[in-house]
Amino acid sequence: MEKLSNPQVTIEIIKKYNFAFQKRFGQNFLIDGHVVEKIINAAEITKDDTVLEIGPGIGTMTQYLAESAGKVYAVEIDKNLLPVLEETLGEYDNVTVINEDILKVDINALLGEDAKNLKVVANLPYYITTPIIMGLFENHIPAKSITVMVQKEVAQRMQAKPGSKDYGALSLAVQYYAEPYIVANVPPNCFMPRPNVGSAVIRLTSWDEPPVKVTNEKLMFDLIRASFNQRRKTLQNGINNSPNLNFSKEQVIAALKEMGLSESIRGEALTLEQFAQLSNILDK
């Protein structure tokens, strides 16, 4: 069939199935072929790859993925889209549609052997961007890269460095697992219906080895969360006020001193390397 990235084709399908967009599922479908091609090119999909697509919608990007990848697994929560996908993806025999919530499905079990050459590609439902991305990393889904459409501000936060206003726990978490690169900004008129925020495509290329050595990952992430929970406070206060952490004021100040840092330093000034160092000192 003709490509759904042609807005006319999308409108016909929506009408034919009397499909009602669900705001609560973050449904904004792509209607711009150039944008879809940009995503596919940035993801560098080959026939050796298996692609996990989160939220195929009516299958707009899935049609392109099916043509470039070896296999595609598309996880969609909205069961009303299943009959639509059956028609729009009917001609491709390398696509498996799974009607599940991506936050609940066991991705490693789902993919089995196919997880070997895995890339994740998606136009994400924005209301759960962070849990989806963190879930992929924390569950050690062996994806070589994650190329996704997200809200523009979220892409900026993922890529931010210390000293920038966008820098925070998400920047550090993403950069611990991957190298972020913003591929393109995408305006609202490339979607149906139009979202009321700007969007961006970001590619996260997974590191083979984390860029810093930490003896206790959980402790490092607890420290990061504690220091950004109270942005206007000092790092020491943030850590000592956190219910998840049990260090005395003296211990934290001594650790900062060992690192050559002032006891009044704020979390937003620390690099990933410094959070790793702090965590390793406090873990002793």
Q: Name the residues that contact ligand SAM, by CB under 6 A.
A: 25-30, 54-57, 60-61, 75-78, 101-103, 123, 125, 128
Separation CA 90–CA 217 (nearest Å): 44
How far apart are CB 214 and ligand SAM at their closest, in Å?
A: 30
Token couple for 230? 């109270």
Nearer to ligand SAM, 57 or 238 (CB): 57
How far apart are CB 238 and ligand SAM at their closest, in Å?
A: 31
Residue nearest ligand SAM, Cβ-based: 55
Nearer to ligand SAM, 30 or 220 (CB): 30
Residue 86 has phi, psi (to 5 degrees) of -60, -40
Alpha helices in 17-57 (DSSP H): 33-43
How far apart are CB 185 and ligand SAM at their closest, in Å?
A: 16
Find the helix or strand (DSSP H, E) in which 145 lies. Answer: strand 145-151
Nearer to ligand SAM, 56 or 267 (CB): 56
How far apart are CB 257 and ligand SAM at their closest, in Å?
A: 46
Give residues with Cβ within 8 angstroms of 21, minimum separation 6. Answer: 27, 193
Give residues with Cβ within 8 angstroms of 269, minimum separation 6. Answer: 162, 163
Nearer to ligand SAM, 36 or 160 (CB): 36
The answer to whether the bond into 193 is cis (omega within 30° of 0) is yes
How far apart are CB 63 and ligand SAM at their closest, in Å?
A: 10
